[in-house]
Structures are given as C-alpha cells and as structure tokens.
Amino acid sequence: MQNALDEAQTIVLLGGTSEIGRAIVDELVSSSTRTLVLACRRPDEAGAERFARDGLNVVVEPFDAAATETHEGFARRLAAEHGDLDVVVLAFGVLGEQTEFDDDPGAAAAAVHVNYTGGVAASLAFAGVMRRQGHGRLVVLSSVAGERVRAANFVYGSSKAGLDAFAQGLGDSLAGTGVQVTVVRPGFVHSRMTRGMKSAPFSTTPRVVAELTVAGMRKGKHTVWTPGILRYVFSVLRHVPRPIFRRLPLG
C-alpha cells in the first residue's frame, strides 16, 4: 500500500522492457518500494539487475499482451503472491510500419490486438484487483497519435485512439472506488521503437515522459501530455480541416 508520502510499495510494469515504462519505474521507486514486477514477453531480456538494490525484490514474469485470456489470472496471482498492487504501468505496445500494414492486413490486426484488445483486457484485470483492495493507480501509455490520427501511421494511431478512449472511460467508472487511472499522451519519443524514424516537432525522451508522468500522478491528474505544450497544439490540430491536415509536416 502507498504510504503517507504517496510512495508505492509494489509496482508492476506490463511491458517490462519498454524504455518509457522503465523510466517511469525509475521515477516511482523509492526506499518504501518493496517489490517490482517486470512483466514481459521475453523475460530473458528484462534486465532485472538494472533495478537491483537492497530491500527491493525485483521479480521477472512472463507476460504476453496478446494472450488476453491469461490476463485476469495473471493479475490475481500477482496480488496473491505480492499483496496489494499499488501502481500498475501499462507500457506494452507495437508501433509497426504503415507500409507493411497496407500490404498485410493480418499484421495490422495483430498490432491492434496487442495495443487495444491487450490493453483493454490487462487494464480490466488489474482494475478488478485494485477495486477489491480499495486503492491503486493504473498508468496507461496512450499517444498523441490517437488524438488526431495521421495517414502515416493510421493503424497504430487508431489503436491508441481506442485505448485512450477506453482508459478515460475506465477512470470515470472507477471514481469513488479508491482506484485512479492516469492516461499518458507522449508525442514523438526518441527510443528503440522510433530509431531511424524522422523526428516530429516537440520530440522528447523517455526520461522527460517519466518525470512529467510521475509529477502528474502526484498532482492527481487524469491525463498527462508530454511535453505539456502538445495539449495546446492538439487542441488546434483537432479542428484543422482534413485537406490541410494531410499536408502538415508532422513527421
């Protein structure tokens, strides 16, 4: 359970190799943290030693976002083995190439399944655990790509738009239960996922995303834009006519 200083004792990272997710964990871990669970599809790549320190039990668990039928049992087992789950960070996802998706609808469907269906199943599974324990924080990594979907990555953008809408609704449905949902909307983030891609305006880093996310959580924000200026940029872009939007240099 989180202490009076809002420090989590148990943290779960779904997408245990995600650079943004791990940066958020770096910001969250304190001397009060007793257990960190890194859940990922390839446990041998989790790099648990990165977080090793006295008093912190770092656990690596196999987790497949696409295997949605396993999520509820997984969440229940973690709670049974580690006690109350204070913060769960949902950081898994697939970016993919739009040109590949254009030629392979099956690959597009698989990516959407991970990003959206997997996110829905995992969020509901852990929200159920948190509702029963009466507290907890679910952090869902969305993207500005879902705020106004671009032709350059519309499969990915549409999956994030769906996840973002779902997470907002989930947060509203949990009002009064002691469980909070924080939706994080990063812009272009320099990371392994975007390596080799053309940078977009207001690009940022996993570290900055993490700092703004945790600062927003501690202020009780439901939505965190990273960087914050993107909130105002997209309040304009949302209303730009499509013929003009298509020609904008948005990366």
Q: Which of 51, 92, 101, 156 is catalytic?
A: 156
Residue 175 has φ and ψ, to the nearest 5°, of -55, 130
Is 116 annotated in the active site? no
Cβ contacts of 110 within 8 Å, gap of 6 or more: 66, 94
Residue 214 has φ and ψ, to the nearest 5°, of -70, -35
Q: Are 155 and 111 in contact (CB under 8 A)?
A: yes
User: Alpha helix (H) ranges present in 29-153?
Assistant: 71-82, 98-103, 105-112, 119-133
The amino acid sitting at 39 is A
CA distance linking residue 140 with residue 3, whole number of Å = 22
Dmax (CA) of the chain = 57
Verify cis geometry, omega within 30 degrees of 0, for the bond prior to 243.
no
Question: ∠ CA(196), CA(198), CA(203), 5° rounding?
Answer: 105
Question: ∠ CA(7), CA(126), CA(181), 5° rounding?
Answer: 60
- What is residue 201's three-state secondary structure? coil
Catalytic site positions: 156
